[in-house]
Chains A and B, each alone.
Chain A
Amino acid sequence: MSDKHAKHKSKYTADRMIPGAFEGETITRRRFMTGSANAAGVIAAASFTLPALGFALGPVFKSTPHTWETVGTVGSFPENNYVPVVVTLTPGIGEAGKATVYVRKRNPAIDIDPYDRDTSYIAVTSRCAHLGCPVRWVDAAERFICPCHGGVYDLLGRPVGGPPVRPLDRFYTRVVGEEVQIGPRFSVNSELRRFSPRDPGEPVDGVGQYLYPSRPTAQKP
């Protein structure tokens, strides 16, 4: 208390009249012990907390390998109607890892988007762009209709009613020999421009593509 107003306190413990001070010592042994005990505690806690945290967060940054799955032969898909096929998105968990994909042959009259020119088949996901419920293609209405919250999409997968914020996602397609194969998923905006895959409910028009960043490991189409 009496040292409170002392302007220049010596950095040497010996000058500060601390009992048992060594010559040239600048930190008291009590302070040093307290500091090193606290540091040891922090290191010990971090040595199990940080790995556990990384373990829990790791899957967010894990990249999944792209796979191609055969869904039919080149002749089995019409131009103006969709054929539902079942693909496995997540192997190893049975039915829960499967999803329906609607496939048709590319129709040059309606698929005029430049991004569609280099593909021969259009594969549209059944996952609603609102919150991920399964849409179904209703042939009579020529619409995709979602049972959960009333989302409606046209033949190209663009929303024409209800809450969806972007068109239905699509999958890359390729033809190997006589087989049509389905590859990774990608998202499209209202002009059918391609974006790396987003989750449902995340718009990619305008500022949306920046507000809802894609996964760090997702590859740009």
Chain B
Amino acid sequence: MPKLPAPPMPSALKAPPPRPGEQNGKAGPADLAKEAGISVVDWVDERTSLSGAGRWLMFRKIPKGTNWFYTLGSATMFAFLSQAVTGVVLAMYYRPDPSGGAYESIRYVTNDVFLGQFVRGMHKWGSSVMVILVFLHMGRTFFFGAYKYPRELNWVIGVVLLILTMVMSFTGYLLPFDQRAYWATIVGVNINGTGPLIGPYLSDFLRGGGEFGATTLSRFYAIHMLVIPGLLAALIGFHLYLVAKLGTSAPPWAKAEEPSELRQAGA
């Protein structure tokens, strides 16, 4: 491709020629400062080769017809990240104490802590946003046929992620420990108990005993902030790896193009 000639520039706008000593091989302190970021990245990359993995992950070929629906997965992941960050901050104030401390700590966060109501609101409403986004992402995958070979395993992982998200919603609902949280959890645990044979043991496991007891709240809290988030993060990582490895599917209305050599041969 012929290169366009540079447009004529007024001399005032032209870059000045290098000063003596600037380009003679010796870098001045200003040059070193300019290059500091690059040399740090180079230092790490020389020892880890992470830039190759980064390029592999970020600069992928995507099919023609990729559209806004393909952003739902990333949106779900950012909803998860938002939940993780706000959850970590909320954990700095929360006390899983069933004899009044839990409710009081939530009241304190909501009413007294700077930006507390905002951060707690982010976490509370963000959980609903995450569930909605998970379902939209699942619907996109289903209606675009993106679960088919070779992406079946990613669908299975996605279903596990959906279930884990539901467990997060269920266990998180108890933590404010108000009337709604308490009774909703009683009902939810008993719904688990209606499963034949293993149901009674499952509800005993969730409560940590036969009755809603002293350790039920801390048990839910541990599941909510330690067990499930770790699983979620690991599975999201694997989910993403498979997306990068297998590539995204074309939308169902995209027509396969004839290879150009065949087209030329036909014409």
Cα–Cα, bound, A148→B182 (Å)? 13
B209 touches A62 (CB 8 A): yes
Asked whether A197 and B190 contact (CB < 8 A) given A96-B99, A211-B197, the answer is no
Q: Is A20 positioned at the interface, with any CB of B under 8 Å from its CB?
A: no
Judge if A141 is at the interface, Cβ distance under 8 Å: no
Q: A6 contacts the other chain (Cβ, under 8 Å)? A: no
Whether A92 is near chain B, meaning CB under 8 Å from some CB there, is yes
Q: Cβ of A201 and Cβ of B193 under 8 Å apart?
A: yes
Q: Is the CB of B204 within 8 A of A60?
A: yes
Q: Are B99 and A92 in contact (CB under 8 A)?
A: yes
Q: Is B56 an interface residue (CB 8 A)?
A: no
Report A65 CB to chain B, min CB distance, Å.
12
**Cβ B194 vs Cβ A59 within 8 A:** no
- Assign chain A's interface to a size class: 20 to 34
Whether A148 contacts B213 in the complex (CB less than 8 A), given A60-B201, A93-B99, A199-B193, comes out as: no
> Chain B contacts of A131 at CB under 8 A?
186-187, 190-191
Question: Which B90-132 residues have a C-beta within 8 angstroms of A?
Answer: 98-100
Residues 127 to 143 of chain A near chain B (Cβ within 8 Å): 131-134
Question: Which of B's residues lie within 8 Å of A, judged by CB?
Answer: 98-100, 177, 182-183, 186-187, 189-191, 193-194, 196-197, 199-201, 203-205, 207-215
Closest to B97 in A: A93
Chain A residue nearest to B208 in the complex (CB): A59
Contact of B214 among A93, A148, A218 (CB under 8 A): A93
The answer to whether residues A89 and B211 also contact, given A199-B193, A199-B200, A200-B190 and a CB cut-off of 8 A, is: yes
- In the complex, what distance in Å separates the CA atom of A199 from the CA atom of B207? 12
Asked if B98 and A94 make an inter-chain contact with CB atoms under 8 angstroms apart, the answer reads yes
For window 176-221 of A, CB contacts with B under 8 Å fall at: 197-202, 211-215, 218
**Quick one: closest A residue to B191, CB to CB?**
A131
Residue of A nearest to B223 (CB): A56
Checking B98, B183, B187, B194 against A202 with a beta-carbon cut-off of 8 angstroms, the contacting residue is: B194
Report the Cα distance A64→B203, complex, angstroms.
16
- A63 CB to closest chain B CB, in angstroms? 9
Q: How far, in angstroms, from A59 to B201 measured CA to CA in the complex?
A: 10
- A:61-78 near B, CB below 8 Å: 62, 64
Complex Cα gap A133–B207 (Å)? 16
Among B207, B208, B209, B210, max chain A CB count under 10 A is at B210
